[in-house]
C-alpha cells in the first residue's frame, strides 16, 4: 500500500466505521465488533506509514483545493506519525475498555457514543497528518464538535453546563484567536504549509512575533494553558472512557500537538529562540505546571484531580516548545506519548473503580486496593510514569526536557520540573497508599450506604470487603495493557527518539 492512500484511509476507516456502527444500532454485539475491528484496521493502516516516515520519507496527499492556494493537504512527518500512532493505538485499548464500561454502567445512547468516538478519532488523525495549518484548523474544529456530544453524553443539567464551558472556551479561542493568527500568518507569509525551519522567519519581527505567538498559544485552547484551562475540568462530566480519550489521546494531545507544530513548523525553533519571545511563554507554562499541580492536591474527586494533573502535564509539552531547543522539543514531543500512556491508565483505573464500587471521591477509597489489587497496581504504575520515575516511560521525557532547559541555560525551569515531580508524588501516591495500606471502613457504616447505591446494578458492594471484586474483565484487560505500555515505553524510548530526531535537527 502506498503512503498516500494510507493517509486517506486513516481518515476513511474510522468514518466508514462510524457509518457501519450507526447502521447496526440495534445489534450491540455486532456494533462493538465493528468498533474493535475498525480500531484494529486503523492501527495497522497507520503502522504501514511508519517505515517510510522513519526512513525519512514524507508521504503526502492533497484532497481538494478548498480556498485558492489553500488545499486540504496532508503530509506525514515524525511528530504527526507519533501522534497518529498514539491515537490509533490507544483507540483499540479504549474501545475494549469502553465496551466493558458502557455495558456495566448501562449507559444510554451507546450507538451515538461509538459513532462520535469514531468521528473524533478520524478528526484526530486529520490533525496528526495535516499538511498545512488550514487543514489542521479544519480538523481541530471537527474534533471539538464531534466530542461535544460525548461530553454532554449524560444529558442532565451538569452535562449541559459542562458542555457549554467546553464548547464555549474551545470554539471561542479557536475562532477568536487562532483563526486570526492563521489569517495573519497567511497574510504575511503567503503560505500555511508546515515547513521545516518555519515560515515566519524573516517575515515578521519585533513585537509582532510576540503577538502572533500569544494568539496562537491561547488560540489553541485545547492545550489548556492557564487561564484557559477551565474547559478540561468541566468536561469531567463525561463518562470515563471519554475522559480517557479526551485527556490522554485525542483532544488535549491535539492541542499540545498543535502547539508543537506551530512552534516547529510555523515559527521554527531557531527563529522562536532567537526572537526571545519563547521566554514569557516558558514562564506561563511553568506557572501552569505548578499552579495546576497545587489545585490538583485540593481536589477530592478523583477525576477532577486527574484533570488538573493533565493541565499541569500538558504545560510540560508547551514548555518544551517554548524553550525551543532541540532537546526540549524532543522531550516535549516524547511527552505526548508518555503522558498519553500514563494518564489513560489512571483514567481507566478511575473508571474501573467507579464501575465496581460507584465511588468517585478519593476520601471514600480507603482500603479499596485490597479489593481491587490489579486496578490499584496499574494506578501505581501510571502514577509513577506521570511522576517520571524509572522504569516508567515518563522518566525519559522529563529527562530530555530537563536537558533542554539546561541547554538553554534556564536553571529555573529545571527547578520547576523538579518541584512539579514532587507535587505529582504528593497528589498521586496518597491515593494508592490509601487504597492499599489503610483498612477499609468498618462494617458499621455500611448499612447506611447500602440503599443509596442499591439502584446501581451489577456493581459489587464494598460491604464485602476483603474479597477481590474487580471491575468487568474488559476494563481490567484494558488498564493492564496500558500499564504495561508505560513500562515498555521506558525500554523502547530509543526508537521514539530516532523517529523524532529529524524535527529538532533538520
Partner 1 sequence: MIAANLPALQIVLPLIAAPLCLLLRRGNLAWALALFVSLAAFAIAVALLTQVLDSGAISYELGGWAPPWGIEYRVDVLNAFVLLIVAAIGAVVLAYARRSVAQEVPTSQHSGFYTAFLLCLTGLLGVAITGDAFNLFVFLEISSLSSYVLISMGRDRRALTAAFQYLVMGTIGATFIVIGIGLLYMSTGTLNMADLGARLPAIGANRTVLAAFAFLTVGATIKLALFPLHFWLPNAYAYAPSAVTAFLASTATKVSIYILLRFFFTVFGPTFEAEEITLNNLVVPLATIAVLVCSTVAIYQGNVKRMLAYSSIAQIGYMMIGIGFGTVTGLTAGIAHLFNHAVTKGGLFLVLGCIVWRIGSCRLGDLAGLGRRMPLTMFAFVLGGLSLIGVPLTAGFVSKWVLVQAAIEQGNWLVAVAILAGSLLALIYVWRVVEVAYLRPAPDSAPEAAEAPWSMLIPAWILIGASIYFGVETSLSLGVAEAAARFLLGGAG
Using CB under 8 A as the criterion, which residues of the chain lie in contact with partner 1 when the complex forms?
64-68, 72, 134, 137-138, 141-142, 145, 149, 152, 155, 159-160, 163-164, 167-168, 171-172, 175-176, 179-180, 183-184, 186-187
Distance CA(232)–CA(230), nearest Å, equals: 5
Of 37 and 168, CB closest to partner 1 = 168
Least gap, CB of 86 to partner 1 (angstroms): 24
* 62, containing H or E segment: strand 60-67
Of 219 and 369, CB closest to partner 1 = 219
CB within 8 A of 324, min separation 6: which ones?
Answer: 263, 269, 270, 272, 273, 278, 408
Distance CA(503)–CA(208), nearest Å, equals: 25
Of 143 and 416, CB closest to partner 1 = 143
Least gap, CB of 161 to partner 1 (angstroms): 10
Least gap, CB of 41 to partner 1 (angstroms): 25
Of 47 and 63, CB closest to partner 1 = 63
Least gap, CB of 371 to partner 1 (angstroms): 36
Distance CA(128)–CA(255), nearest Å, equals: 11
Distance CA(54)–CA(59), nearest Å, equals: 11
Least gap, CB of 445 to partner 1 (angstroms): 35
Cβ 485 vs Cβ 341: under 8 Å: yes
Of 71 and 388, CB closest to partner 1 = 71
Distance CA(198)–CA(118), nearest Å, equals: 32
Cβ 124 vs Cβ 14: under 8 Å: no
Q: Using H for helix, E for strand and C for coil, what is the string for 94-152?
A: HHHHHHHHHHHCCCCCHHHHHHHHHHHHHHHHHHHHECEHHHHHHHHHHHHHHHHHHHC
Least gap, CB of 94 to partner 1 (angstroms): 24
Cβ 73 vs Cβ 191: under 8 Å: no
Cβ 152 vs Cβ 145: under 8 Å: no
Of 215 and 475, CB closest to partner 1 = 215
Cβ 302 vs Cβ 233: under 8 Å: no
Of 33 and 142, CB closest to partner 1 = 142
Of 64 and 454, CB closest to partner 1 = 64
- Which ranges constitute the DSSP H helices of 438-460? 446-449
Of 36 and 138, CB closest to partner 1 = 138
Question: Which sign, positive or negative, has the C-alpha torsion 484, 490, 492, 493?
Answer: positive
Exposure string for 337-354, b = 16+ CB within 10 A, e = fewer: bbbbbbbbbbbbbbbbbb
Least gap, CB of 162 to partner 1 (angstroms): 11
Of 176 and 506, CB closest to partner 1 = 176
Least gap, CB of 134 to partner 1 (angstroms): 8
Distance CA(194)–CA(192), nearest Å, equals: 6
Q: How many CA atoms lie within 13 A of 287 on its CB side?
A: 11
Exposure string for 302-322, b = 16+ CB within 10 A, e = fewer: bbbbbbbbbbbbbbbbbbbbb
Of 54 and 145, CB closest to partner 1 = 145
Least gap, CB of 172 to partner 1 (angstroms): 5
Distance CA(20)–CA(171), nearest Å, equals: 29
Least gap, CB of 260 to partner 1 (angstroms): 21
Least gap, CB of 500 to partner 1 (angstroms): 29
Cβ 476 vs Cβ 345: under 8 Å: no
Amino acid at each position: 500500500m502506498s503512503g498516500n492512500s494510507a493517509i486517506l484511509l486513516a481518515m476513511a476507516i474510522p468514518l466508514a466505521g462510524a457509518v457501519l456502527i450507526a447502521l447496526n444500532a440495534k445489534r450491540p454485539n455486532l456494533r462493538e465488533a465493528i468498533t474493535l475491528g475498525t480500531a484494529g484496521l486503523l492501527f495497522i493502516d497507520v503502522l504501514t506509514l511508519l517505515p517510510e516516515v522513519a526512513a525519512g520519507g514524507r508521504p503526502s496527499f492533497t484532497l481538494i483545493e478548498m480556498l485558492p492556494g489553500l488545499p486540504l493537504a496532508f503530509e506525514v512527518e515524525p511528530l504527526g506519525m507519533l501522534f497518529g500512532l498514539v491515537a490509533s493505538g490507544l483507540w483499540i485499548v479504549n474501545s475494549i475498555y469502553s465496551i466493558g464500561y458502557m455495558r456495566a454502567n448501562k449507559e444510554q445512547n451507546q450507538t451515538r457514543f461509538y459513532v462520535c468516538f469514531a468521528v473524533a478519532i478520524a478528526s484526530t488523525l486529520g490533525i496528526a497528518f495535516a499538511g498545512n495549518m488550514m487543514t489542521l484548523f479544519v480538523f481541530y474544529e471537527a474534533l471539538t464538535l464531534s466530542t461535544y456530544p460525548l461530553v454532554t453524553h449524560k444529558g442532565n443539567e451538569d452535562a449541559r453546563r459542562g458542555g457549554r464551558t467546553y464548547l464555549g472556551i474551545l470554539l471561542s479561542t479557536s475562532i477568536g484567536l487562532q483563526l486570526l493568527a492563521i489569517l495573519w500568518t497567511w497574510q504575511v507569509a503567503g503560505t500555511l504549509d508546515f515547513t521545516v525551519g518555519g515560515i515566519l522567519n524573516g517575515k515578521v519581527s519585533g513585537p509582532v512575533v510576540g503577538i502572533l505567538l500569544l494568539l496562537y498559544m491561547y488560540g489553541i485552547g485545547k492545550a489548556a494553558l492557564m487561564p484557559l484551562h477551565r474547559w478540561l475540568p468541566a468536561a469531567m462530566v463525561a463518562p470515563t472512557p471519554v475522559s480517557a480519550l479526551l485527556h490522554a489521546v485525542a483532544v488535549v494531545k491535539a492541542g499540545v500537538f498543535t502547539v508543537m507544530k506551530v512552534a516547529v513548523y510555523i515559527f521554527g525553533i531557531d527563529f522562536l529562540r532567537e526572537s526571545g519571545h519563547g521566554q514569557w511563554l516558558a514562564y506561563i507554562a511553568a506557572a501552569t505546571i505548578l499552579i495546576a499541580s497545587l489545585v490538583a492536591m485540593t481536589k477530592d474527586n478523583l477525576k477532577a484531580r486527574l484533570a488538573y494533573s493533565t493541565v499541569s502535564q500538558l504545560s510540560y509539552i508547551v514548555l518544551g516548545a517554548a524553550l525551543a531547543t532541540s532537546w526540549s522539543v524532543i522531550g516535549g514531543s516524547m511527552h505526548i506519548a508518555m503522558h498519553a500512556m500514563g494518564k489513560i491508565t489512571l483514567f481507566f483505573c478511575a473508571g474501573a473503580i467507579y464501575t465496581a464500587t460507584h465511588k468517585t471521591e478519593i476520601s471514600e477509597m480507603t482500603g479499596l486496593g485490597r479489593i481491587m489489587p490489579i486496578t490499584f497496581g496499574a494506578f501505581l504504575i501510571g502514577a509513577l510514569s506521570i511522576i517520571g520515575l524509572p522504569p516508567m516511560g515518563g522518566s525519559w521525557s522529563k529527562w530530555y526536557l530537563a536537558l533542554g532547559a539546561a541547554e538553554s541555560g534556564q536553571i529555573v525551569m529545571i527547578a520547576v520540573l523538579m518541584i512539579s515531580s514532587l507535587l505529582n508524588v504528593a497528589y498521586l501516591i496518597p491515593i494508592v497508599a490509601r487504597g492499599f495500606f489503610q483498612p477499609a471502613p468498618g462494617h458499621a457504616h455500611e448499612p447506611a450506604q447500602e440503599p443509596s447505591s442499591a439502584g446501581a446494578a451489577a456493581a459489587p458492594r464494598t460491604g464485602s470487603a476483603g474479597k477481590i471484586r474487580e471491575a468487568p474483565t474488559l476494563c481490567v484487560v484494558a488498564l493492564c495493557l496500558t500499564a504495561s505500555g508505560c513500562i515498555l515505553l521506558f525500554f523502547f524510548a530509543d526508537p521514539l527518539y530516532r523517529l523524532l530526531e529529524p524535527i529538532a535537527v533538520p
